Structure 1
């Protein structure tokens, strides 16, 4: 095999007769079958170009740099290793976390250049297991905790306030927690997850990649879309301690229950935006288009996942252009 091409084990190209959807671009052929349902523009925009040259359509529809980079994943015969390919800087057959620190100033460009493959983070099987989370694990773990906090929080509220009609205050406190979560969601995504390491600090690169960078690098890896319970528990405990300084003892647990409910909804929405097919003009249709723009074109805008409210407040909202026809995923 040509040593300048990545092997089929390194990429995720399907070669079966029933799993082919080929296009041509600059004298090369690409099988984008596995990408069809993930294409931000939908299947219906892509299908007319099967077995055709897409150079002009890609320019006409103003594809991002990330789109051209991702296309390399599907090159027939394997991804070609050239001087412009940032993947030559790492070894995809080895755990990635230990490698990203050496990227230095190249890290920021590499991490927003998406690939379509699965990623191993740790050499340790135990640590790797703790970072891989099927979507259903999140509600399975957190919903019982939310119910427990809501029940205990209600009892605590009644005990402290002696309120004989606690329904409205309890609902308001839980709702307050849900609203608070939307601000936490935006703040974490914008100022923590999207901080840009200088390239001089390996520890900052490791941290950034572990908490969010890997998701931008492998956006289609369904095992790494929702937040693993262990780090989520650490963040929850930190938020619990911080909010105890601002909320009264009688409602604090109820606010936390609401915040956790907001988090679970956020994580489920995030997974759906990547793998769901929302109907035209629905709330999630807009959010999916919005989130795709954040991933593949405007990394420093569009930080809202479950809502675009705080993007509008802080001036980071994305404008989605009007399309000639609706998108079908």
Structure 2
């Protein structure tokens, strides 16, 4: 709801009628929220919200089992649609109230208080961003602005909003910075399948060996390929953790415009707008630089087929990571499943614990490096 719009009033009976996937409303005290668009994003699953639709969720927001963060409360405000009127439940009163509100809105438009650019904006008008009070101008490309935030950048970037990010003014560069999720399997899975076949058939020839000393060699049998593949997958999980923790969440020096800009390009944009579906997976061109470097490193350190066998396992790990990451933001895993707990874990990383919970496709490496998101205490 635009700040210049007078709040609508709803009766308890009217709120209670909105209890389906197609229209789901909840109350927070006397404030009414239409959370239909949030159902599939909710880390606890849409069923949890639907069971409480038409009701006050104040107690659930406070917990247990989960106390919602300030970021989560700020996020919820974008779904605010009006106030609960406990004094009058008649439809006639509601109709009169709506007419009164429409009249006030018309007067404000006539006076010029509703800005033309906001009404014609390409963005969703339901936004947790106040365009006139935010530290950046969302009507312009953000990439060249964030570096000027200096010491305010870290706090700003970790206050998530539900708006699409525009990085560049140039249409070609902007289009190149976005990727639909399906391009990851389309580009990389054929390479995974081909290299897996190539490595297995090459090892089957019985000519691949691993030197231990100048005189001692170990023959690498074709049945060792699954083990090498799993080694590569395991290696990727460690690389994933290190990149996420030490590169994507590096503390940027407040005085360095260029490092802040680079951080926003690599990962800050995702934390600012975690549900921008076009920016949840890596563009193949960018990913190919990392993939290519990893391939060169392994093939130069190990016998060719051994190195490629480990590489293809790591490449599969990367595909699984990117697909898992997309699913953790937009999927609805079954309650009690591993992916359900992983989704809740990752969303807590976004909204509460940005300095912990760096595992995405797995929590494995958070344990030895002591970055596990702590359990909540009440």
Tell me which residue corresponds to 1:287. Answer: 342
What is the aligned partner in structure 1 of residue 73 from structure 2? 68
Task: Give structure 1 regions of 4+ aligned residues with deviation exceeding 6 angstroms.
Answer: 1-5, 162-165
Distance 1:69 1:93 in 2: 21
Aligned mate of 1:311, from 358, 362, 366: 366
CA offset digits 1:165-221 (Å, max 9, x no partner): 842122222221111111111111111111121221111111111111111111111
TM-score, with normalisation over the residues of structure 1? Answer: 0.82
Higher relative contact order (CA 8 A, sep 6+): 1
Contact 2:298 2:308 in 1 (8 A): no
Specify the alignment match of 1:43 in structure 2: 46
Is the CA contact 1:290–1:320 (under 8 Å) kept in the aligned structure 2?
no
Is residue 33 of structure 1 aligned with residue 79 of structure 2?
Answer: no
TM-score (norm 2): 0.72
Query: Do 1:4 and 1:81's aligned partners in 2 also have CA atoms closer than 8 Å?
Result: no
Residue 331 of structure 2 corresponds to residue 241 of structure 1 = no
Structure 2 runs not aligned, ≥5 long: 6-17, 83-125, 210-217
How far apart, in 2, do the equivalents of 1:226 and 1:72 lie?
27
Query: Are the counterparts in 2 of residues 4 and 80 from structure 1 also a CA contact under 8 Å?
Result: no
2:167 aligns with one of 121, 134, 156: 121
What's the counterpart of residue 111 of structure 1?
A: 157
Q: Per-residue displacement from partner, 1:51-97 (whole Å, max 9, x unpaired)?
A: 55555542344211211221232344855877xx9961112222221
Are the structure 2 counterparts of residues 104 and 254 from structure 1 closer, same or farther at C-alpha, using a change threshold of 3 Å? same
Corresponding residue number in structure 2 for 1:263: 318
User: What is the CA distance between 1:44 and its match in structure 2?
Assistant: 3.7
Query: More deviation in 206-215 or 44-53?
Result: 44-53
- SS in structure 2 opposite 1:115? coil
User: Alignment length, in residue pairs?
Assistant: 309
The 3 A distance-change label for structure 1 pair 103 and 51 is: farther
Distance apart, 1:263 and its partner CA: 0.5
Unaligned runs of 5+ in 1: 6-16, 323-329
* CA RMSD in angstroms, aligned pairs only: 3.1
The answer to whether structure 1 residue 167 and structure 2 residue 170 are counterparts is: no
Tell me: CA distance 1:58–1:246, structure 2 relative to 1, closer, same or farther (3 Å).
same
Verify the 8 A CA contact 2:228 2:313 in the aligned structure 1: yes
Partner of 2:98: none
SS of 1:251 mapped into structure 2: helix
Distance apart, 1:141 and its partner CA:
0.3
2 CA distance for matches of 1:222 and 1:47?
A: 24
Partner of 1:12: none
Deviation string 1:256-308 (CA, Å, 9 cap, x unpaired) is 11111110011111111111111122221221121122111111111111111
TM-superposed deviation, 1:252: 1.2
**1:239, distance to aligned residue in structure 2 (A):** 2.0
Determine the structure 2 residue equivalent to 1:274. Answer: 329
Q: Which residue of 1 aligns with 2:88?
A: none
Equivalent residue in structure 1 for 2:142, among 77, 84, 96? 96
Q: Tell me the equivalent position of 2:235.
A: 180
The aligned residue for residue 274 of structure 2 is 219
CA distance in 2, matches of 1:21, 1:311: 36
